[in-house]
Amino acid sequence: MDLTKKRFKEEFSQTFENMYAFDIKNSTAIQQYTALGNYLRFSYSDDWNKTNKKYLNEQVKQVYYFSIEFLPGRMLKSNLLNLGILDTVRDGLVDLGLDFEEIVKSEVDPGLGNGGLGRLASCFMDSIASLGLPGNGNGIRYRYGLFQQKFVDGYQVELPDNWLRNGNVWEVRKENKAVTVRFGGQVGLVEAANGHLKPTYFNTQNILAVPYDTGMVGYQNDVINNLRLWSAEIPPEEEIHYHTIAEREQVNQITEVLYPDDSNHEGQTLRLRQEYFFTSAGIQSVIQYYKQTGLSWQNFPDKIAIHINDTHPSLAIPELMRVLLDEEDLSWEQAWEITKKTMSYTNHTVLQEAMEKWPIDMVKKLLPRIYQVIEEINRRHIEKKLSLYGSDLTYRTAIIADGYVKMAHLAIVGSHSVNGVAKLHTEILMHDVLNDFYQMYPAKFNNKTNGITQRRWLHLANEELTKLIDSKIGTDWKTNPAELKLFKAFIADQETLDKLGTIKLVNKEKFAAYTKNEMGIEINPEALFDVQIKRLHAYKRQLLNVLHIIDRYLKIKEDPTLAIQPRVFIFGAKAAPSYSYAKQIIKLINALAELINNDQEVDDKLKIVFVENYGVSLAELIIPAAEVSEQISLAGKEASGTSNMKLMLNGALTIATLDGANVEIRDFVGEDNLFLFGLNDQEVQILNKNGSYHPREIYETNPRLKQVLNTLIDGTIPDIEMEGRVIFDSLVYHNDEYFLLKDFDSYIQAQEEIDLLYQNKTKWNQKSLMNIASSGPFSADFTIQRYAEEIWKIDSQLIDVHQKLFLTE
């Protein structure tokens, strides 16, 4: 976007005065932010309109990414960067006497997702627009985002996240595009004009789905795609039927809150209502769009791809069938062909407790017509496969079984593509978790390793590092992240290595200022910063990290003169409110922090910082300051992970199990540049199969580990009588499901190697540089390019050939 500083200052001041009718000098940061956001939205609205029109007029194929979560982070800075006016605006604001960083901070960070799944969806939105690909997001406009986390006496307390309190400058309400979503009632057959019997719905509860659109700004390419989030309202013409507050509330509730569970299936009618609500609204709006093209239904899959992000939007399959059958009068065979060709599905987890299934009665009652369609899909599936695969295998793949509708089964049968999110994860899907389906549909299965947008996670989060890289290898890496590898040429350049060290130190100082001001904890920026940031879950093994910290603490207490590498252990994690074990681990970490941080003898050899309310904005502060990246899930459990990629991109060294995308990180960066430990997936499987794991024996025979574990129950750590006991028992007596005791020794050994390496700053910085330079392949731009070419079959609309073809690995 062309914008001079002079013009910006004039136009922005004018916008401000038009909005508030007073001088900008007397305004608050929030007012300045609001005016700036509006000013920007106005400035790109023309491109937004043009992008939409181009897609429609040229009838290009588009993808619709259906996701129950999007976690975009603050949008002001990223929009400025992508519009190409970050520096102009920043300088202009300084001229106007305003504080740019204060303005940036006054934007709320929308918590419309739990963790990796939602953040991935938003990285993808950025990459789709930045590659000039025709693509749109479809989701829910939650009135309240993920809870705000507070610690009270070390316990997690959840507060509501009223993120819309000051409005939302980026969204545009489009009531004219609203659609009706129907729940409940009965289905009957009524004779249509052509004499056919047509399913008709009676006594339904009709909800108005109103879209709020947000522009997804592409990186300096004039492309503005659309993220459409739906809000549930009472249809104005039906107001008369809503007599009580409770009845009205029931409608609002649909889009009131985000379910706060990560990798955990929530069996609530409300959740099912949410899922149908946004998928039905999304399908209807796609259909409305398609009808404008005037093309025949047969062409639908040539123009539309619909992506199902995890199973939450799987009802898109029967919903598209319903529309094609009941409203557009297609035959079952035609409708099914179109649906399968249109839909693709990503699986994000192998955890059994996360596999969505709904009681038949619930689905029947809430979505009677959809249930009929699912029944018929299932009937035909079984009928077709029985003779080919025999009854055992076939019935194991049934969509309706054991009293439930199985959402993953529906998603697989109804899609043409099923992908996992890292090589190992996809292998596990094919050969283990989804093997029955793999036998039936080998060609559907494929891998798409996750990626992250380097624009948010490097350009914006770490501007100093970006400048250093620019000065060394030029700026082409910004449109072709594979070029980051050119940075390897500086592996022996002392000046570059020293600069890397300095930049890291400055970022650590920034984080230290945060912990001091916000948490009252003073940390030494010269200490090693060790970071584990992700949802709190037993399989992610924050507890293993804790055991290592206790081990260090004991060492220091045994010999206070010990010359040990000072470390700050940084945690950021929310626990699902109903997940009591995870909450007990939070309490344990906070209690341990209280003990260690206040122990004079320990001094700054050891500190724990557990940030409250971890989210995208805090990640942007922590990741550039990180030196060690903890990726220590039990092998075979973490589908991919994405903080591993963000931390590596910012020069942290990874300590990892061979799990998820860590395997590919190892492949790219080389075994010498990260620290591997622990069981691999095969070994875990064997131990699980032959039942030969006895943690109690390890406890009894490993004196060091015994001492560490005993601190959980012997009063060493104050105020955790209950939690310490539960956690101790889970490890020692209740078979240690995630093999912490088994992996303890090799973890400690890897940590010792880290300490040793850190003594040699040059060597450390060399490995850090290798990590940065090897992270190009984990750009979401590559991931999205593969989705676009191999699954969605959509093309970049950028005319500039250089830009269009920039991505080469």
Contact 776, 485 (CB under 8 A): yes
Cβ proximity to ligand OX2: between 119 and 340 the closer is 119
Of 133-141, 348-356, 507-515, 801-809: span binding ligand OX2 (CB under 6 A): 348-356
Distance CA 332, CA 326 (A): 10
Of 147-155, 336-344, 346-354, 614-622: span binding ligand OX2 (CB under 6 A): 346-354
| Chain residues 117-136 in contact with ligand OX2, contact rule CB under 6 A | 117, 120
Q: Which of 73, 211, 641, 724 binds ligand OX2 (CB under 6 A)?
A: 641
Q: How many C-beta neighbours within 10 Å does residue 760 have?
A: 10
HEC assignment per residue over 448-476: CCCCECHHHHHHHCCHHHHHHHHHHHCCH
Of 109-117, 246-254, 513-521, 735-743: span binding ligand OX2 (CB under 6 A): 109-117
| Chain residues 195-234 in contact with ligand OX2, contact rule CB under 6 A | none
Residue in 646, 654, 716, 783 annotated catalytic = 646
Distance CA 260, CA 145 (A): 9
What amino acid occupies position 315?
Answer: L
Of 116-124, 215-223, 461-469, 507-515: span binding ligand OX2 (CB under 6 A): 116-124
Q: Which long-range contacts (CB under 8 A, 24 or more apart) does 83-86 make?
A: 83/1, 83/40, 83/43, 83/44, 83/217, 83/220, 84/1, 84/220, 85/1, 85/3, 85/8
Contact 782, 806 (CB under 8 A): no
Of 114-122, 321-329, 556-564, 597-605: span binding ligand OX2 (CB under 6 A): 114-122
Q: Which of 221, 263, 730, 771 binds ligand OX2 (CB under 6 A)?
A: 263
Task: Please state the closest distance from residue 145 (CB atom) to ligand OX2, in A.
Answer: 16
Task: Please state the closest distance from residue 643 (CB atom) to ligand OX2, in A.
Answer: 8
Nearest residue to ligand OX2 on Cβ basis: 116
Q: How far lies 398's CA from each of 53, 296, 383, 401, 432, in Å?
A: 43, 32, 11, 6, 17
Is 6 one of the annotated active-site residues of the chain?
no
Nearest Cα residue to 633 out of 677, 668, 600: 677
Residue in 348, 385, 499, 767 annotated catalytic = 348
Handedness of CA 35, 40, 42, 43 (dihedral sign): positive
Does residue 581 sit in helix, strand or coil? helix
Cβ proximity to ligand OX2: between 117 and 748 the closer is 117
Cβ proximity to ligand OX2: between 218 and 641 the closer is 641
Cβ proximity to ligand OX2: between 421 and 628 the closer is 421
Pairing of β 357-359 and β 343-346: unpaired
Q: Does 349 bind ligand OX2 (CB under 6 A)?
A: yes
Task: Please state the closest distance from residue 5 (CB atom) to ligand OX2, in A.
Answer: 40
Q: Which of 78, 450, 496, 629 binds ligand OX2 (CB under 6 A)?
A: 450
| Chain residues 579-638 in contact with ligand OX2, contact rule CB under 6 A | 638
Task: Please state the closest distance from residue 417 (CB atom) to ligand OX2, in A.
Answer: 16
Task: Please state the closest distance from residue 581 (CB atom) to ligand OX2, in A.
Answer: 17
Q: Which residue has tokens 């240690």?
A: 736
Contact 124, 419 (CB under 8 A): no
Cβ proximity to ligand OX2: between 355 and 621 the closer is 355
Q: Does 576 bind ligand OX2 (CB under 6 A)?
A: no
Of 51-59, 347-355, 485-493, 495-503: span binding ligand OX2 (CB under 6 A): 347-355
Nearest Cα residue to 484 out of 668, 675, 663: 668
Q: How far lies 115's CA from each of 202, 260, 703, 786, 802, in Å?
A: 40, 10, 37, 23, 35
| Chain residues 272-301 in contact with ligand OX2, contact rule CB under 6 A | none
Q: How many C-beta neighbours within 10 Å does residue 726 have?
A: 18
> For the chain, first and last CA: distance in Å?
29
Task: Please state the closest distance from residue 633 (CB atom) to ligand OX2, in A.
Answer: 8
Task: Please state the closest distance from residue 697 (CB atom) to ligand OX2, in A.
Answer: 31
Cβ proximity to ligand OX2: between 637 and 767 the closer is 637
Task: Please state the closest distance from residue 128 (CB atom) to ligand OX2, in A.
Answer: 16
Encoding tokens for residue 406? Answer: 């199985």
Cβ proximity to ligand OX2: between 113 and 695 the closer is 113
Q: Does 310 bind ligand OX2 (CB under 6 A)?
A: yes
Cβ proximity to ligand OX2: between 367 and 421 the closer is 421
Is 535 one of the annotated active-site residues of the chain?
yes
Q: Is 423 exposed, middle or buried (0-12, 13-18, 19+ CB in 10 A)?
A: middle
Q: How many C-beta neighbours within 10 Å does residue 201 have?
A: 17
Q: Does 314 bind ligand OX2 (CB under 6 A)?
A: no
Residue in 41, 61, 504, 535 annotated catalytic = 535
Cβ proximity to ligand OX2: between 640 and 657 the closer is 640
Task: Please state the closest distance from residue 119 (CB atom) to ligand OX2, in A.
Answer: 8
Handedness of CA 476, 482, 484, 489 (dihedral sign): negative
Residue in 642, 654, 711, 783 annotated catalytic = 642
Total residues interacting with ligand OX2, rule: CB under 6 A = 18
H or E, element range at 202: strand 197-202
Residue in 357, 540, 607, 767 annotated catalytic = 540
Residues in the chain, total:
809
Cβ-proximal residues to 6 (8 Å cutoff; 6+ apart), any chain: none
| Chain residues 417-436 in contact with ligand OX2, contact rule CB under 6 A | 421
Encoding tokens for residue 181? Answer: 């979503």
Is 646 one of the annotated active-site residues of the chain?
yes
Q: Which of 37, 73, 92, 116 binds ligand OX2 (CB under 6 A)?
A: 116
Cβ proximity to ligand OX2: between 141 and 348 the closer is 348
Q: Which of 348, 409, 742, 767 binds ligand OX2 (CB under 6 A)?
A: 348
Q: Which of 72, 135, 624, 660 binds ligand OX2 (CB under 6 A)?
A: 660
Cβ proximity to ligand OX2: between 119 and 499 the closer is 119
Task: Please state the closest distance from residue 537 (CB atom) to ligand OX2, in A.
Answer: 8
Q: Does 451 bind ligand OX2 (CB under 6 A)?
A: no
Task: Please state the closest distance from residue 310 (CB atom) to ligand OX2, in A.
Answer: 5
What are the DSSP calls for 705-754, one per residue? HHHHHHTTTSSSSTT-HHHHHHHHHHHHTSTTTT-HHHHHHHHHHHHHHH
Q: Which of 38, 342, 631, 642 binds ligand OX2 (CB under 6 A)?
A: 642
What amino acid occupies position 430?
Answer: M
Distance CA 221, CA 131 (A): 8
Cβ proximity to ligand OX2: between 117 and 412 the closer is 117
User: Left (φ > 0), alpha (ψ -120 to 50) or beta: where does 375 sit?
Assistant: alpha
Task: Please state the closest distance from residue 638 (CB atom) to ligand OX2, in A.
Answer: 5
Task: Please state the closest distance from residue 451 (CB atom) to ligand OX2, in A.
Answer: 10
Nearest Cα residue to 499 out of 267, 321, 762: 762
Cβ proximity to ligand OX2: between 127 and 450 the closer is 450
Residue in 534, 583, 605, 742 annotated catalytic = 534
| Chain residues 154-173 in contact with ligand OX2, contact rule CB under 6 A | none
What amino acid occupies position 717?
Answer: I
Distance CA 509, CA 463 (A): 15
Residues with catalytic annotation?
348, 534-535, 540, 642, 646
Q: Which residues bind ligand OX2 (CB under 6 A)?
A: 115-117, 120, 262-263, 310, 348-349, 354, 421, 450, 638-642, 660
